[in-house]
């Protein structure tokens, strides 16, 4: 399960909070769902629940016609159920959940939506969940070299966001996610073509060897 997050080269990087213990992570059987929030505990007397949000679009909770509540790890997948949000923020209120006891039954549940119902992004923005698993292809010099697979994305700090890439040799590489390097983003084909500066990858390999 991937959070509903987005990434725009040369723009502010929005990244979800770290998953709390017990939250389901990516598995092949859950790829069709996107994690929006994790219910922590009851909050209030009328069925409200406190939730950790994993989305850049909390304002869109009330605009969605339906969401799904997925039981904690170990729960029956068939128990996945639809729910209508009556209000939103860090505190969520679901229809027909009107007491502390009702809210307690939702403790540990995940709030999810089908992957195809993610909020459309504008311009060059992409979801981090789409980048993870992509192959980075270095097309500098007219070639097409497999630099490796994206395993994570480090948020921007003093510099741009960094793609964490596992090379074919199993080494970890860091590649700046900036517009100047991008040539083609093929989400369906899981392929990211980049024109990387000469020696960028070799420099990291040499630095690692010196440390070792």
Give CA–CA dist 211/196, Å, rounded.
Answer: 24
What H or E segment, with its residue span, contains residue 186? strand 182-186
**Contact partners, residue 71, CB within 8 Å, separation at least 6:** 77, 79, 80, 108, 109
- Separation of CA 66 from chain center: 20
Give CA–CA dist 49/101, Å, rounded.
Answer: 11
CB count in 10 Å sphere of residue 121: 15
Q: What are the tokens at 151?
A: 């395993």
Give CA–CA dist 182/22, Å, rounded.
Answer: 36
pLDDT digit string (tens) for the chain, length 212 residues: 344 455 544 433 333 333 333 332 333 245 677 788 889 999 989 999 998 877 766 766 766 767 888 888 755 555 667 777 665 567 888 889 999 999 999 999 988 888 777 777 777 778 887 888 999 999 998 889 999 999 988 876 667 888 999 999 898 989 999 889 999 999 889 999 999 988 787 766 655 555 55
Give CA–CA dist 56/110, Å, rounded.
Answer: 16
**Contact partners, residue 206, CB within 8 Å, separation at least 6:** none
């Amino acid at each position: 399960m991937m959070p509903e997050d987005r990434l725009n080269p040369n723009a502010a990087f929005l990244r979800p909070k770290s998953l709390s213990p017990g939250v389901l992570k990516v598995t092949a059987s859950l790829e069709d769902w996107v994690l929006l929030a994790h219910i922590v505990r009851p909050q209030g007397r009328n069925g409200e629940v406190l939730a950790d949000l994993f989305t850049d679009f909390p304002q869109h909770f009330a605009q969605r016609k339906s969401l799904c509540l997925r039981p904690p790890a170990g729960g029956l997948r068939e128990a996945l159920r639809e729910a209508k949000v009556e209000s939103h923020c860090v505190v969520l209120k679901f229809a027909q959940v009107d007491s502390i006891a009702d809210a307690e039954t939702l403790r540990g549940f995940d709030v999810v939506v089908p992957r195809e119902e993610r909020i459309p992004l504008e311009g060059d923005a992409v979801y981090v969940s789409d980048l993870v698993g992509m192959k980075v292809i270095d097309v500098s010099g007219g070639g097409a070299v497999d630099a490796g697979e994206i395993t994570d994305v480090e948020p921007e700090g003093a510099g741009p966001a960094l793609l964490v890439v596992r090379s074919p040799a199993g080494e970890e590489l860091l590649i700046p996610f900036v517009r100047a390097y991008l040539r083609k983003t093929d989400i369906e084909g899981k392929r990211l073509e980049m024109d990387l500066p000469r020696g960028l990858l070799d420099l990291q390999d040499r630095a690692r060897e010196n440390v070792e």
